[in-house]
Amino acid sequence: MVGAQLTYSMLVGGLDFSVYRTGAATIFGSDGVRADLYDRDLVPLGGGFLPFTYPPFAALILLPFAFIPMWLGQAIMLAFSVAVAWWFAAIVYDYVNHRGRRIPFQDKLGRTTTIAVLTAVILLSGPWRRGIGLVQINPLIMLLVLGDLLRPATRLPRGFFIGIAGGIKLTPLVFGLIPLMRKDVKGVLTLGASFLGTIALGFLLLPHQAVQFWTSAVSDPTRVGNINYPDNISVQGWLMHLTLEGYHAQMPTALLSGLHWLLIAVLLVGTAAVIPVLDRRGMRLSVIGLTAFLMLEMSPISWSHHNTWLPLIVAAFLVDALPWAFRERDWRRTAAQVLAWAAFVGLYYSPLWLAATVAGTTENLDYVSRPAQIAAGLPMLAHYLLVLLWITQIWRHRHDPCPPGNDLRDLWSGWRVVERCSHSLSCQPLHRRELAGGYPQISDVGSPRPVPGGTVVPWTGSASSPPMTCTSSPGCAARENPNTRCAAGTG
């Protein structure tokens, strides 16, 4: 199925990539393009046109594609998307294992095959399936943001690549909330500086286009499309799908606009409040997943294929939320499970295809029947309610003690150090290893314990993980404040 999807994208897909390539071609007039970058009629589509909607910096990034054949550019983008999906699957696999859980089939299949299966599951999900068909830029945005938040803190502070992602597509700037709530001043300043650098580069190299974008195009959501299109999963979109006020309207009424801002404010305050709580428990994917959801909901238009974060949010819910925030078997856990099924299954299938299935057609989906609009809006309503309940439960359990030995220094494809400590032992890896797809599986390592007459802890893990030497040290216990992350790695 994945092969069929990729073949379709090469032969008849790639609509969004054609916009990227044509937009880049306007810079030097390559390929016979004589249009301006922000002309509304840049790329013809049926009876209408598609404009270029990103900042000038994005056109500069995409410029190499203007000088190679369309099919080759699509092939490069598709190969890149599959590679990002594999890397993403490896991160999910390693995170699940680090949290002490196991993917059901991983013991039989092994790490590499399990990651391959997860990659296929990711590529067949609604957001990735449609994004692959359109040959979208969102995998690049995910790589920049997720990589920046998970990479080791080197001399290049975190926030740099999020700023670059914001220069390509403005919405990733919402991830600046994470360093802000961590009180990471260097990260916030780095993000701002790199983003401003992309703006400056746009004005330097494309001054006319930069003025056009920042004075008019950036504030015109109609350039992106019909807000009430069934595929719009933002708060503004699903409110219009579900209410009589928004039925067959292309712009929200005053009532819907007010409700929209109220729901965004609640989500923003809630997400900001729980980021430090999740950080103390080392729940990095939950931090990223909830912030990604906030980003999607805040934008006036978020097409379902923008939600490449869906598999990450599902993993965070199953591995972080259910075992901890929803550990009590009460109505909250039951409600969360019901909402999760409705949201995740609906989004995996795709709101657009739900609307098309109910309408019985894929033609003229701007004006589908009311039942079709409701079908498109219900998964995101369920998702919003699930996230609110999730945030409430995190806040409810915010004073729970932090479990020892649950810190991951760096979740990244490269050099890393994993540290685990107990109440009386300080454990350090014997060596660093370069691991292609993830870090040592904490779940494979026996709990550190002293042995008579010595300080070496017996190794009980797998051959792929580095053995640890543990020495008696009160320092480890001193670091284990129950209200902070155990041996937290910051930077």
User: DSSP assignment of 304-337, as one string?
Assistant: GGG-TTHHHHHHHIIIIIIIIIT-S-SHHHHHHH
Whether 363 and 430 map to the same domain: the answer is: no
- What's the pLDDT at 464? 39
Residue-wise pLDDT tens digits, 238-281: 998 888 666 666 666 778 888 899 999 999 999 999 999 999 99
CB atoms within 10 A of CB 127: 24
In degrees and rounded to multiples of 5, residue 63 shows phi and psi of -55, -40
Whether 235 and 215 map to the same domain: the answer is: no
Q: Which of 219, 241, 258 is the last residue of a domain?
A: 219
Whether 287 and 356 map to the same domain: the answer is: yes
Handedness of CA 290, 294, 297, 300 (dihedral sign): negative
Per the structure, the count of domains in the chain is 3
Q: How far apart are CA 38 and CA 54, in angstroms?
A: 9
Whether 241 and 336 map to the same domain: the answer is: yes
- What's the pLDDT at 246? 63
Handedness of CA 472, 476, 481, 486 (dihedral sign): negative
- What's the pLDDT at 45? 79
Q: How far apart are CA 6 and CA 134, in angstroms?
A: 10
Residue 290 is part of which domain span? 225-400
The whole-chain average pLDDT of the chain stands at 81
* 394-429 exposure pattern, b = at least 16 Cβ within 10 A, e = fewer: beeeeebebebbbbbbbbbbeebbbbbbbeebbbbb
E-state strands within 21-61:
43-45, 48-50
Q: How far apart are CA 457 and CA 447, in angstroms?
A: 9
Angle (CA) 404-406-410 rounded to 5° is: 140
Per-residue pLDDT of the chain (491 residues; tens, 9 = 90+): 667 666 656 655 789 999 999 999 999 887 777 788 998 888 887 777 889 999 999 999 999 999 999 999 999 999 999 999 999 999 999 999 988 889 988 999 999 999 999 999 999 999 999 999 999 999 999 999 999 999 887 788 899 999 999 999 999 999 999 999 999 999 999 999 999 999 999 999 999 999 999 999 998 877 888 888 999 999 999 998 888 666 666 666 778 888 899 999 999 999 999 999 999 999 999 999 999 999 999 998 999 999 999 999 999 999 999 999 999 999 999 999 999 999 999 999 999 999 999 999 888 888 888 899 999 999 999 999 999 999 999 999 999 987 654 444 445 443 333 333 333 333 333 333 322 333 333 333 333 333 334 333 333 333 333 333 333 333 333 333 333 333 333 33
Whether 164 and 37 map to the same domain: the answer is: yes
Whether 132 and 160 map to the same domain: the answer is: yes
Q: Which of 168, 184, 219 is the last residue of a domain?
A: 219
Whether 1 and 121 map to the same domain: the answer is: yes
Q: How far apart are CA 197 and CA 393, in angstroms?
A: 39
Q: Which of 380, 400, 420 is the last residue of a domain?
A: 400
Whether 13 and 161 map to the same domain: the answer is: yes
Whether 78 and 189 map to the same domain: the answer is: yes
- What's the one-letter identity of residue 414? G
